[in-house]
Amino acid sequence: MSAILIESYDVPGSGPSVAVKDCIDIAGARTCCGSRAFADVAPAQRNAHVVQALVEAGYRIIAKASMHELAYGMTGLNDWTGHVENPLYPGLMPGGSSSGSAAAVAAGLVDLSLGTDTGGSVRMPAACCGVIGFKPSFGRLSRDGLTPSDSDLDCVGLFARSMSLIEGAMEQMDPDFAVADPVARPAIGFVEVIADEEVAGAVAAALASLWDAVETCSLPLLEDAFQAGVVKMAAEASAAYGHLVDTGLLGIDVEQRLRAAPTVATVERMVWAQEVKASFIAQVDALLERFDVLALPTLPGFPPHVDAMGDAASILRLSSLVRPFNLSCHPAISLPLTTPSGRPAALQLVARRGDDARLCAIARLFAHSDQNLQHKEIC
């Protein structure tokens, strides 16, 4: 079996097929979080809330997807379960932490997959693997049945190759979600960021091809929000998994990050991170009073080759444009782009908190554009 999927299930029926990240409970299966440390955990007694909602709607849960160990890494690689290969871009980093969920959709193994997004862990692998990745507003979808159980950042997210699949699944998992009418001429705020020239050009071209009402804007606290997100995630990871660092059961990369986490998330830095969070939320909200959505690249550069990924800091920087919106709790979606060099890039759209359906409606416009990587007939 490919390292993309770590378990598969024979489920009859004709409903959409779904893979579920290994930190989301499936009744009767062990939730190992991609870690040897949880290899002997008791099987889950019941489905996570989001899984059960899909099952009751006729979706077929046919696989458990691989992930970066403990969801605490951005490469998506895992020595214990086997490295996930990038189906559309062989040799390139699949992205994490929901690497298997993204790759399963990209490879056509499933119609839809569930992941989690604490610091870009849905949108980043979606961009790396060339599929759609949606992070709803924080708190929109139930986290019942997820590991860890407590988080101020983490959201259940979805991967698919069409917006209709994303929206259909959202309707089942969230009774308050209703597919919105098309938005003919949304006001777009194009956020100025530092990004690779080809990536920035692809995003600008995609926006220009669809909308003439695009205005440049700025988020001065974007970098601080990225750093604050790193601090808060370090605190959450340390609280959930810090007791595992001396067990010898963790991969080297995760063990090193967990050992460093207390020095990253000091009391002083946590106070600062909370202050940044409040200020950044206000800054994003103010822009979204002027615009329907904010647009920016999902990643500031291209995913590296797995044999030349560089140091951990350079990989972490790839999350600098996605992580801030976990801190701010806004819904965000990553849409795959074509590029002149053929490498993966993506457009990220961000909307008002709670305005998930309208965000999806605007994303639907892009899903039919020439710049969208996906085949138009499935959008």
Find out whether 47 and 27 touch, Cβ atoms under 8 Å.
yes
Does residue 1 carry a pLDDT above 60?
no
Cα 232 from Cα 239, distance rounded (Å): 11
**Rounded distance between C-alpha atoms, residue 115 and residue 96, angstroms:** 10
Instruction: Give kind and range of the element (H or E) at residue 111.
Output: none
Least confident segment among 40-49, 158-167, 212-221, 363-372: 363-372
- pLDDT beyond 50 at 377: no
pLDDT at 288 over 70: yes
> Tokens in use for 379?
């959008």
Given a cut of 60, is residue 35 above it in pLDDT? Answer: yes
Q: If DSSP codes are grouped into helix, strand and coil, which group holds residue 206?
A: helix
Contact (CB, 8 A) for 103 and 67: no
How many Cβ atoms are within 10 Å of 305's Cβ, its own excluded?
Answer: 13
**What are all long-range contacts of 38-42, with beta carbons under 8 Å and residues at least 24 apart?**
none
How far is Cα 124 from Cα 316, in angstroms, rounded to an integer? 11
Confidence at residue 374, expressed as pLDDT on a 0 to 100 scale: 53
Which stretches within 107-181 are classed as H helix?
A: 123-129, 163-173
What is the Cα–Cα distance from 140 to 53, expressed in whole angstroms?
14
Mean pLDDT along residues 356-367: 94
- Measured CA to CA, the distance from residue 48 to residue 116 in angstroms comes to 13
- Which token pair is 351? 């909307």
Range from 40-44, 103-107, 337-341 carrying the lowest mean pLDDT: 337-341
Question: Given this model, what pLDDT does residue 2 score?
Answer: 65
Residue of 17, 35, 66, 97 marked active site:
97
State the Cα–Cα distance between residues 146 and 33, nearest whole angstrom: 10
Quote the percentage of the chain above a pLDDT of 70: 96
- Name the active-site residue from 121, 137, 162, 319: 121
Q: Which helix (H) or strand (E) holds 211?
A: none
How much is the average pLDDT of 47-63?
A: 99
320 is catalytic: no
Per-residue model confidence as pLDDT tens digits over 123-159: 999 999 999 999 999 999 999 999 999 999 999 999 9
**Backbone phi, psi, residue 348, to 5°:** -110, 130
- Give the confidence band of 310 by pLDDT, cuts at 50, 70, 90: confident
Domains contained in the chain, CATH given: 5-378 (3.90.1300.10)
Q: Is 164 a catalytic residue?
A: no
Is 121 catalytic? The answer is: yes
Strands (E), 84-231: 112-117, 132-135, 155-160, 188-191, 214-217
pLDDT digit string, tens, across residues 68-94: 999 999 999 999 999 999 999 999 999
Q: Is the pLDDT of residue 269 over 80?
A: yes
Taken in order 266, 281, 148, 303, is the CA torsion positive or negative?
negative
Active-site residue identified among 21, 64, 135, 232: 21
Which residue shows structure tokens 């990536």?
199
- What are the start-end ranges of the E strands in the chain? 5-8, 17-21, 60-65, 112-117, 132-135, 155-160, 188-191, 214-217, 293-297, 332-337, 345-350
Phi, psi of 116 (to 5 degrees): -130, 150
Q: Which residue has the tokens 């193994």?
A: 109
